[in-house]
Amino acid sequence: GSTLQEAAAQSGRYFGTAIAANRLSDSTYATIANREFNMITAENEMKMDATEPNQNQFNFTNGDRILNWALQNGKQVRGHALAWYSQQPGWMQRMEGSTLRSAMINHVTQVATHYKGKIYAWDVVNEAFADGSSGGRRDSNLERSGSDWIEVAFRTARAADPAAKLCYNDYNIDDWSHAKTQGVYRMVRDFKQRGVPIDCVGLQSHFNPQSPVPGNYQTTIESFAALGVDVQITELDIEGSGSAQAESYRKVTQACLNVARCTGITVWGVRDTDSWRASGTPLLFDGNGNKKAAYTSVLNTL
Ligand code: XIL
């Protein structure tokens, strides 16, 4: 294949990117995005603060803009994210307990219903586990609303959009030896054993020199897949440049290819200048839209 999406399709996988609605009018950006990628994640536009700015008043304008651009161009869409401790609207940040629980359930229902039948996979719950050595849950208003909030969110999403795959998504769960990875693994195993609807695990995979691609990355992917879920790399970016960055991108791509249930890779932006890592160069295209060594490395590995 001569593009990332064509090359990934040779093994039945997709290759995606995060899109920001306000950049779609940039023709360099839109041209690269349309040519190279066939799975689209809204970088911010489907999050809780964007879709429910006031309680029970939903705004799908920018989320729909991305969804429609994707569908009109023959792409699939990954929904991101229904329930998360971060990027909550102010009214939700101030909520606790059963009031919050009801508001969360309503949010999941309304958003998943609005997009019903159009989403390949939802990140139902994002970043619910703590960093560090505990392997436990992150403290948040959602966690304090009742530790079953995650399975409640998954059951609610399944009821609203039965066709969408339902994923748990997190960062720093790439290294199999980390307590956080093990904590998420135990939750997914428990959900599968008890019949809580979960179809996939998303490894965000934001890498940098302090947190490089772990040597056991493929073991992590294989281990989750062995629980009977698909695995996707959902927000890939790797700080660095040149051949070292290209080699890291190769390792990530090869690890996914080596596991049948690793079904696709999404990078978190198009050009380095589009990245949320404002000062870095973590993506596959430079600021002028030129293909980097990392791009060629991924393309040749797929
Ligand atoms: C980031 C966006 O890229 C930024 O534009 C925004 O300011 C903050 O969120 N984990 C996630 C993503 O799941 O939603 C985050 O996206 C990056 C970390």
Please check whether residue 27 is in contact with residue 33, taking contact to mean a CB–CB distance below 8 angstroms. Answer: no
* Model confidence, pTM: 0.98
Going by C-beta distance under 8 Å and a sequence separation of 6 or more, which residues neighbour residue 95? 103, 141
Going by C-beta distance under 8 Å and a sequence separation of 6 or more, which residues neighbour residue 193? none
21 alpha carbon – ligand 1 mean position (Å): 14
Q: Residue 205: CB within 6 Å of ligand 1?
A: no
Please check whether residue 53 is in contact with residue 63, taking contact to mean a CB–CB distance below 8 angstroms. Answer: no
pLDDT confidence of residue 41: 99
Going by C-beta distance under 8 Å and a sequence separation of 6 or more, which residues neighbour residue 99? none
pLDDT confidence of residue 101: 98
Nearest CA to ligand 1 atom 15: 43
Give the nearest ligand 1 atom to 268 CA: 3
The Cα 25–Cα 43 span in angstroms is 16
Please check whether residue 265 is in contact with residue 16, taking contact to mean a CB–CB distance below 8 angstroms. Answer: yes
Instruction: Name the residue of 43, 47, 62 whose CB sits within 8 Å of the most ligand 1 atoms, as the mutation to test its pocket.
Output: 43
High-pLDDT (> 70) share of the chain, %: 100
- Report, as ranges of residue numbers, the positions in the chain whose pLDDT lies below 50: none
Q: Is residue 235 annotated as a catalytic residue, yes or no?
A: yes
Instruction: Of 75, 76, 84, 47, give the one whose Cα is nearest residue 63.
Output: 47
pLDDT confidence of residue 278: 78
Q: Residue 172: CB within 6 Å of ligand 1?
A: no
The whole-angstrom distance between residue 189's C-alpha and the CA centroid of its chain comes to 20
Nearest CA to ligand 1 atom 16: 43
Q: In Å, how far are 188, 206, 259 from 183, measured between CA atoms?
A: 9, 19, 22
Q: Residue 85: CB within 6 Å of ligand 1?
A: no
pLDDT confidence of residue 26: 98
pLDDT confidence of residue 1: 79
Q: Residue 297: CB within 6 Å of ligand 1?
A: no
Give the nearest ligand 1 atom to 169 CA: 13
pLDDT confidence of residue 279: 85
193 alpha carbon – ligand 1 mean position (Å): 31
Helix (H) or strand (E) holding 97: helix 97-114
Q: Residue 232: CB within 6 Å of ligand 1?
A: no
Going by C-beta distance under 8 Å and a sequence separation of 6 or more, which residues neighbour residue 74? 38
44 alpha carbon – ligand 1 mean position (Å): 7
